[in-house]
């Protein structure tokens, strides 16, 4: 029986986005405050996902051994460091979140059966690397507050209550929605970026957060005048709103996850993502150490 296990680790480090072949003005135009001379720091959180068969002791790997490998190859070298000067990979390409994930993969892959590296730069920004050339996934999380009512206009109040329960009450109710947007792109071999993070954040803010925040969705968002604003329909609409802007920044919209409450969330994938549900349901492939 195959099983995926995760090991968490963390390190604190600083970095700077600055390319010596560009002028100071060009660096600040491209990277903003991240180009400042002394750099800036983060408390990074690392998740190493590994795939293997359960052994006779009920383990995929001895986690004590895994811990020592991660410490030796990664955290002992990166903790309390200036990343730009730590590994040669970060001198060839800037130590962005996605490039850090990719570099960690190549440091650990010879010793561990990795299937994913996830690096959190902070709780609202993280990157995943799955071992495919320069391809990486970058996720930002944000939120908006909105009210809605779940009711179809062609049905009676009693019929809507039968379908949607309390959510069909005439004056609606509200949520603090948590939104996660994931894009896929190739890491640039010089900037270390799979997409312009500022442009990515701006697209989500301009097309979703600002229009949706502090609204009554049924009344204030034209799309929901005829479409019931369930979490699923909201997520689909957000997907449709973001695909073109994300494409313009040179990436692909991979996934939208909308968390309506701690008990209720949904995920939808970009229209260009090939059969994601089938991929999720398949037996994981064997990964050799």
Domain of 253 in residue numbering reads as 132-284
Q: Write down the catalytic residue from 143, 167, 232, 243.
A: 167
Q: What pLDDT was estimated at residue 289?
A: 32
Q: What pLDDT was estimated at residue 275?
A: 67
The CATH number given to whatever domain includes residue 180 is: 3.30.479.10
How confident is residue 272, by pLDDT bands cut at 50, 70 and 90? Answer: confident
Whether residues 155 and 200 share a domain: the answer is: yes
The predicted model gives 98-118 an average pLDDT of 97
User: Which of 131, 164, 192 lies at the terminal end of a domain, its last residue?
Assistant: 131
How confident is residue 277, by pLDDT bands cut at 50, 70 and 90? Answer: low
Residue 289 lies in a domain: no
Closest CA to 75 of 100, 99, 53: 100
pLDDT at 10 exceeding the cut of 70 = yes
pLDDT at 281 exceeding the cut of 50 = no
Rounded CA-CA distance 140/35 in Å is 21
Look at 1-5, 121-125, 204-208, 281-285 and tell me which has the smallest mean pLDDT.
281-285
Residue 176 lies in a domain: yes
pLDDT at 143 exceeding the cut of 50 = yes
Q: Write down the catalytic residue from 98, 121, 180, 260.
A: 260
Q: What pLDDT was estimated at residue 279?
A: 52
Whether residues 168 and 197 share a domain: the answer is: yes
Is 260 designated active site? yes
Whether residues 238 and 139 share a domain: the answer is: yes
Whether residues 29 and 136 share a domain: the answer is: no
Q: Write down the catalytic residue from 40, 124, 214, 225.
A: 214
pLDDT at 109 exceeding the cut of 90 = yes
Residue 146 lies in a domain: yes
Whether residues 261 and 187 share a domain: the answer is: yes
Whether residues 274 and 138 share a domain: the answer is: yes
End-to-end CA distance of the chain: 17
Is 214 designated active site? yes
Average pLDDT of the residues of the chain: 93
Quote the number of domains for the chain. Answer: 2
Whether residues 174 and 55 share a domain: the answer is: no
The predicted model gives 4-32 an average pLDDT of 95
Question: Which percentage of the chain shows pLDDT scores above 70?
Answer: 95
Q: What pLDDT was estimated at residue 129?
A: 97
Whether residues 43 and 60 share a domain: the answer is: yes
Whether residues 261 and 143 share a domain: the answer is: yes
> What is the tens place of the pLDDT at every residue in 22-55?
999 999 999 999 999 899 999 999 999 999 998 8
Rounded CA-CA distance 272/256 in Å is 13
User: Which of 86, 102, 131 lies at the terminal end of a domain, its last residue?
Assistant: 131
Whether residues 35 and 124 share a domain: the answer is: yes
> What is the tens place of the pLDDT at every residue in 195-221?
999 999 999 999 999 999 999 999 999
Residue 276 lies in a domain: yes
Q: What pLDDT was estimated at residue 248?
A: 97
User: Which of 131, 151, 177 lies at the terminal end of a domain, its last residue?
Assistant: 131
Whether residues 279 and 144 share a domain: the answer is: yes
Q: What pLDDT was estimated at residue 276?
A: 65
Rounded CA-CA distance 14/37 in Å is 12
Between these two residues, 120 and 59, which has the higher pLDDT value?
120
Centroid of chain to Cα 66: 25
Whether residues 152 and 244 share a domain: the answer is: yes
> What is the tens place of the pLDDT at every residue in 56-100?
888 989 999 999 999 999 999 999 999 999 999 999 999 999 999
């Amino acid at each position: 029986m195959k099983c995926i296990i995760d090991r968490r680790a963390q390190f604190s480090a600083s970095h700077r986005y600055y390319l010596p072949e560009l002028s100071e003005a060009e660096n600040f135009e491209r990277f903003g405050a991240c180009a400042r001379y002394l750099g800036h720091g983060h408390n990074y959180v690392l998740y190493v996902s590994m795939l293997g068969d359960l052994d006779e002791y009920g383990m995929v790997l001895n986690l004590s051994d895994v811990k020592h490998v991660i410490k030796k190859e990664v955290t002992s070298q990166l903790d309390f460091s200036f990343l730009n000067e730590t590994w040669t990979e970060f001198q060839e390409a800037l130590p962005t979140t996605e490039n850090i994930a990719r570099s960690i993969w190549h440091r650990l892959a010879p010793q561990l059966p990795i299937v994913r590296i996830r690096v959190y730069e902070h709780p609202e920004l993280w990157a995943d690397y799955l071992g495919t050339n320069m391809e990486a996934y970058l996720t930002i999380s944000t939120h908006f507050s909105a009210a809605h009512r779940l009711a179809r206009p062609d049905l009676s109040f009693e019929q809507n209550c039968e379908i949607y329960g309390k959510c069909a009450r005439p004056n609606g109710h509200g949520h603090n929605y948590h939104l996660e947007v994931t894009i896929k792109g190739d890491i640039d071999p010089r900037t270390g970026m799979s997409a312009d993070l500022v442009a990515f954040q701006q697209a989500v803010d301009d097309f979703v957060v600002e229009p949706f925040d502090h609204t009554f969705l049924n009344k204030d968002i034209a799309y929901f005048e005829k479409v019931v604003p369930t979490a699923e329909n909201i997520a689909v609409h957000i997907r449709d709103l973001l695909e073109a802007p994300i494409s313009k920044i040179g990436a692909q919209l991979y996934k939208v996850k909308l968390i309506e409450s701690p008990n209720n969330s949904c995920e939808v994938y970009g229209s260009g993502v090939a059969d994601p549900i089938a991929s999720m349901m398949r037996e994981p492939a064997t990964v050799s150490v």
